[in-house]
Amino acid sequence: MNELLIEKKHSVREREHKRFRQQAPPDVLAECERENSSGMRRAALLIKRQCEAESVVIEPGERIVFTRTIPCIPRIYADMDPVCLINNICADWQMALSQGLLGRREAAADARERYKDNPQASEFLDCAIESIDAVLALAARYAQAAEQMGRHDIAQMLRNVPANAPRSFHEALQSLKFMHSALWLAGHYHVGLGRFDQYMWTYLEADLKSGVLTESDAEDLLAEFFISLNKDTDVYYGVQRGDNGQSIMLGGVKRDGSDAVNPLTRMVLRVVRDVGMIDPKINLRINADTDLDLLCLATELTSKGLGFPQYANDDVVIPSLVAHGYDLEDARDYSVAACWEFIIPGKGMEIVNYETMRFPKIVDQAIRNGLAAGDTFDGILNRVKVGIDEAARRYADCYSKRQLPPAPFYSVLMDDCIENGRDLSSGVKYNNVGIHGACSASAADALAAVKKHVFDQHDIDPADLLAALDADYDGFEDIKQKLQNDSPKVGNNDDAADSMLTTLFDYFADACEKLGDHDGKWIMRPGTGSAMFYLYMADEVGATAEGRKKGEYFSANLAPAPNIRVHGPISVLQTYSKIDYKRVCNGGPITMELSDAVFRDQDSVRKVAMLVRTFAQLGCQQLQLNTLNYEKLMDAKAHPERHRDLIVRVWGWSGYFCELAPEYQEHVINRYKYAL
């Protein structure tokens, strides 16, 4: 990175751009209420007023512009927060870039003519056109200001994009920056960036061929673009700062099944490593035959400790999506939503984290009620099955009643919404609902411990176990010891525990499949992630039969339970290769922490890369590898001022350690204590 970029990164880290922030957002709600506007009109008015209220910021030396000055999203419904707006999906950036907003406007005008007798479609298309005009007007103001400042380069670019197709890689980045920022401005969040190396390569390839750009010029532009993605994240909505879903998916295969890795794939990996910030979050699609060189490059990024890349295995994900009703070509085009949920850019209006299957809670109730009723172990398992079925049905019922608020500008950037005269909120090609499958290892461990001690060895009496659970193990130290230290655990490639894990996911998949496809409209997709539920549930569920006391955290995503020692990463991968991923396609990674001591050898990068390849070869689905130094974390907790730039992976995202809430810090530290 050149000096200018280093300075820019520093300035973004110091949030110097905050000086441009306005005091308050425009008051849009009053206007909406006055006119008693429809939801559609409100959404269009929101983006219009937001674009008008933005003031132009072009900083010296900046080559990709747009800085947010409005501090938050104004309300447009009296009774609903703007953060309920459509989020966590990915636009068809390839289409949007290549057509430009004027191209989209033409398509909308065409459709407006075709649907002129359909009032609903007409209103939608009018609003889509208004929102396009609002964004273009903002771009025009930027162009004009640039001209006045003597920044003819910027002016020239913004006269062309985002209105038209980019004429260069630089323009493509600027166009993307503008449209992407406009979505945030319109109140959408977790705005994904999709298969960046695919849709951007055309532009870069042309520039490299014609000699407009050298590789190093391109890297500088890319670095600036990535730094700019970190700029406004403090005003982006998320559970914690850093949780903003600016995810990129690299590699994989093209829609025709051929290898999609190109020079930009590698360039992104290199540049992100050098930039070293929390955005964008990098994902890499691989398969059993992926080149070790590419994995080594990705591992160098892992060794930086940014918490990415996260890997997805095409060999498993694509067939799984096909089994869930996705066309093969679309399945090959998958990306991820904010964290790990598989979605198809431009074609998915999926609510990927609608609800959470709370495995530990369901299992705990089944164990307590089953023991009290004198059940056999199969009886307890049956209660688990019923509990999962009931929860899935409840979620499905709720989901059927849900209504999404209209999103005319997002619709412009998706496939066929404009063409069909239908807003994104009324559905696109895929409209499925995703349910996390949270804390599975802890729940499976509880079942395995009960089976061993109560039913197989008979060395814990059911009544004693119930009493121990009720007492939070106070006075039942010996029972707790047995359950915790002398029971099979998920993560050791031990079938006694792993079979409980696979049973949970089988029940979960059964429950979702039983719900059917709702007249071809949507299915429920089971997943393996936990998001923040390993924390949320800690106090919600009392003592559990794996020897955990109330308040202690559960296992996160696909990872062994906290506080247990496992043999190591190979066993963990072997354990998780047993899940039938064809039936669980909502995503949720195997999560592993590596101590940074792993990287002290010259060939360690290659060996970690081989571990990643093993993950793919064993047929696992998704992998998140994190590197950190335990002592450094402890020091950061004590002296945050010394470690302002320390980055950690939280769940599906990376954040600055010192900016996390204490409970998240604690959990991260605890995870790293058991690093491999």
Distance in Å, CB of 158 to another protein, minimum: 50
Tell me if 493 contacts another protein by CB under 8 A. yes
Report the residue number, 394 or 673, with the smaller CB distance to another protein. Answer: 673
For the chain, the maximum distance between any two Cα atoms, rounded to a whole number of angstroms, is 84
Report the residue number, 156 or 604, with the smaller CB distance to another protein. Answer: 604
Distance in Å, CB of 473 to another protein, minimum: 14
Distance in Å, CB of 676 to another protein, minimum: 6
Cβ-contact 398, 521 below 8 angstroms: no
Tell me if 532 contacts another protein by CB under 8 A. no
| Token digits of residue 336 | 């991820």
Distance in Å, CB of 574 to another protein, minimum: 7
Residue 526 to residue 586: CA distance in whole angstroms: 6
Tell me if 613 contacts another protein by CB under 8 A. yes
Distance in Å, CB of 606 to another protein, minimum: 9
Tell me if 570 contacts another protein by CB under 8 A. yes
Q: Nearest Cα to 658, choosing from 635, 625, 630, 629? A: 635
Q: Which residue in this structure is represented by tokens 């989901």?
A: 399
Which residues are CB-contacts of 205 (< 8 A; sequence separation ≥ 6)? 262, 263
∠ Cα 567 528 436 (to 5°): 145
Tell me if 285 contacts another protein by CB under 8 A. no
Q: Nearest Cα to 653, choosing from 192, 298, 91? A: 192
Residue 231 to residue 15: CA distance in whole angstroms: 7
Q: Which stretch binds another protein (CB under 8 A): 32-40, 53-61, 195-203, 614-622?
A: 614-622
Distance in Å, CB of 604 to another protein, minimum: 6
Selected from 152, 394, 521, 607, the binder of another protein by CB under 8 A is: 607
Report the residue number, 4 or 676, with the smaller CB distance to another protein. Answer: 676
Tell me if 567 contacts another protein by CB under 8 A. yes
Selected from 11, 303, 614, 629, the binder of another protein by CB under 8 A is: 614
Q: Which stretch binds another protein (CB under 8 A): 26-34, 88-96, 342-350, 568-576?
A: 568-576
Kindly give the residue spans of alpha helices, DSSP state H, lying in 471-494: 477-485
Report the residue number, 202 or 670, with the smaller CB distance to another protein. Answer: 670
Tell me if 598 contacts another protein by CB under 8 A. yes
Cβ-contact 435, 511 below 8 angstroms: no
Pairing mode, strands 433-438 and 351-358: parallel
| Token digits of residue 29 | 């709600």
The number of residues that bind another protein (CB under 8 A) is 23
Residue 42 to residue 223: CA distance in whole angstroms: 36
Selected from 611, 616, 628, 648, the binder of another protein by CB under 8 A is: 611
Tell me if 637 contacts another protein by CB under 8 A. no
Tell me if 638 contacts another protein by CB under 8 A. no
Residue 641 to residue 639: CA distance in whole angstroms: 5
Q: Which of residues 473-492 bind another protein (CB under 8 A)?
A: 485
Cis peptide before 74 (omega within 30 of 0): no
Residue 607 to residue 295: CA distance in whole angstroms: 10
Residue 549 to residue 530: CA distance in whole angstroms: 19
Selected from 216, 600, 641, 662, the binder of another protein by CB under 8 A is: 600
Q: In what order do the strands lie in the sheet with 247-251?
A: 247-251, 281-286, 310-313, 622-628, 590-595
Distance in Å, CB of 668 to another protein, minimum: 17
Q: Residue 126: exposed, middle, or buried by beta-carbon count in 10 A (0-12, 13-18, 19+)?
A: middle
Distance in Å, CB of 340 to another protein, minimum: 23
Tell me if 604 contacts another protein by CB under 8 A. yes
Tell me if 574 contacts another protein by CB under 8 A. yes
Tell me if 669 contacts another protein by CB under 8 A. no
Report the residue number, 475 or 568, with the smaller CB distance to another protein. Answer: 568
Distance in Å, CB of 624 to another protein, minimum: 16
Alpha carbons within 13 A on the beta-carbon side of 68: 28
Distance in Å, CB of 474 to another protein, minimum: 17
Per-residue binding letters, 82-121, with another protein (x by CB under 8 A): ----------------------------------------
Residue 130 to residue 22: CA distance in whole angstroms: 24
Cβ-contact 303, 596 below 8 angstroms: yes
Tell me if 571 contacts another protein by CB under 8 A. yes
Distance in Å, CB of 623 to another protein, minimum: 14
Gap between the terminal Cα atoms of the chain = 32
Selected from 602, 638, 641, 662, the binder of another protein by CB under 8 A is: 602
Q: Which stretch binds another protein (CB under 8 A): 78-86, 190-198, 272-280, 563-571?
A: 563-571
State the Rg of the chain over Cα: 25
Q: Which stretch binds another protein (CB under 8 A): 118-126, 211-219, 451-459, 603-611?
A: 603-611
Distance in Å, CB of 441 to another protein, minimum: 18
Q: Which stretch binds another protein (CB under 8 A): 178-186, 224-232, 279-287, 602-610?
A: 602-610
Cβ-contact 297, 270 below 8 angstroms: yes
Q: Which stretch binds another protein (CB under 8 A): 60-68, 305-313, 379-387, 595-603?
A: 595-603
Residue 154 to residue 150: CA distance in whole angstroms: 9
Q: What is the DSSP letter of 387?
A: H
Q: Which stretch binds another protein (CB under 8 A): 9-17, 75-83, 303-311, 609-617?
A: 609-617
Residue 527 to residue 37: CA distance in whole angstroms: 38
In the complex, the residues that contact another protein under the rule CB under 8 A are 485, 493, 567-571, 574, 598, 600-604, 607-608, 610-611, 613-614, 617-618, 676
